[in-house]
């Protein structure tokens, strides 16, 4: 939702690739029409600067599929001059701290970066013994091994259903060198976000 409203809607992108996956959590069809609502990984390219790529992953990548996913994706890119930014969310219950999670100002951002990433991060670093999981962790590990500058921004949230507060927790990233040039009108993007979440609202009736 953050990428759709603040990045993809503000500048001109085109879809240049797609990854279809099938596992016990993600079953995609062989449909030829690729829609963002389907369980795919879509790859966008900035029309004005083809060196800028964006991957929007809306499906679960199983552990035994992650290495192949990484080999396919990064195998198509030049590693020289490459920099990677990863955005992810997870439950605040996964955050390990000595203080009570009830007092934490959820949602909040934490960053984890590779040794080669020298730029300032937009939030505090993730403390030990916290860990990251799934595809974001695999991408960051791949970048560490191949000495690619990369940073992971993990949003810890206490809600299950997507809401504007959780999405807007990523707003500090808009000041980063990589993203600030991709956003044209933050106020308009905020309006688009509220429209998107209102459209996706479901109403339950209990009898």
What are the pLDDT digits (tens) for 185-200? 766 666 666 666 665 5
Give the span between the Cα atoms of 124 and 97, in whole angstroms. 14
At residue 11, does pLDDT exceed 70?
A: no
Give the span between the Cα atoms of 82 and 53, in whole angstroms. 11
pLDDT value for 26: 66
Average pLDDT over residues 42-50: 91
pLDDT value for 190: 67
At residue 31, does pLDDT exceed 70?
A: no
Label residue 47 left, alpha or beta by phi (over 0 means left) and psi (-120 to 50 means alpha).
Answer: alpha
pLDDT value for 77: 87
Residue pLDDT, tens place only, 84-123: 999 999 998 899 988 776 777 889 999 999 999 999 999 9
How many other CB atoms are found less than 10 A from the CB of residue 114? Answer: 21
pLDDT value for 137: 95
Comparing 186 with 69, the larger pLDDT belongs to 69
Give the span between the Cα atoms of 69 and 183, in whole angstroms. 28
> Interior CA angle at 139 toward 68 and 172, to 5°?
150
Name which of 170, 153, 142, 157 is nearest 119 in CA terms.
153
Domain 1-28+36-93+106-123+130-183 matching CATH 1.10.3470.10: the answer reads no
Residue pLDDT, tens place only, 163-188: 888 888 998 998 898 888 888 676 66
How many other CB atoms are found less than 10 A from the CB of residue 110? Answer: 19
Residue 126 — very low, low, confident or very high, per pLDDT cuts 50/70/90?
very high
Mean pLDDT, the chain, integer: 83
């Amino acid at each position: 939702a953050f990428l759709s409203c603040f990045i993809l809607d503000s500048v001109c992108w085109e879809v240049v690739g797609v990854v279809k996956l099938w596992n016990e959590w993600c079953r995609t069809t062989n449909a030829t029409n690729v829609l963002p609502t389907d369980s795919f990984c879509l790859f966008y390219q900035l029309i004005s600067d083809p060196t800028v790529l964006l991957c929007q992953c809306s499906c679960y990548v199983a552990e035994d599929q992650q290495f192949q996913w990484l080999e396919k994706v990064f195998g198509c890119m030049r590693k020289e001059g490459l920099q990677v930014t990863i955005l992810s969310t997870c439950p605040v219950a996964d955050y390990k701290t000595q203080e009570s999670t009830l007092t934490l100002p959820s949602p909040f951002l934490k960053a984890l970066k590779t040794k080669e990433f020298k730029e300032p991060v937009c939030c505090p670093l993730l403390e030990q013994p916290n860990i990251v999981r799934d595809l974001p962790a695999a991408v960051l590990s791949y970048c560490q091994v191949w000495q690619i500058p990369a940073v992971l921004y993990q949003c810890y949230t206490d809600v299950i259903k997507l809401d504007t507060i959780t999405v807007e927790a990523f707003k500090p990233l808009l000041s980063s060198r990589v993203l600030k040039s991709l956003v044209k009108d933050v106020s308009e993007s905020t309006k688009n976000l509220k429209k998107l979440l209102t459209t996706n609202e479901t109403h339950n009736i209990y009898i």
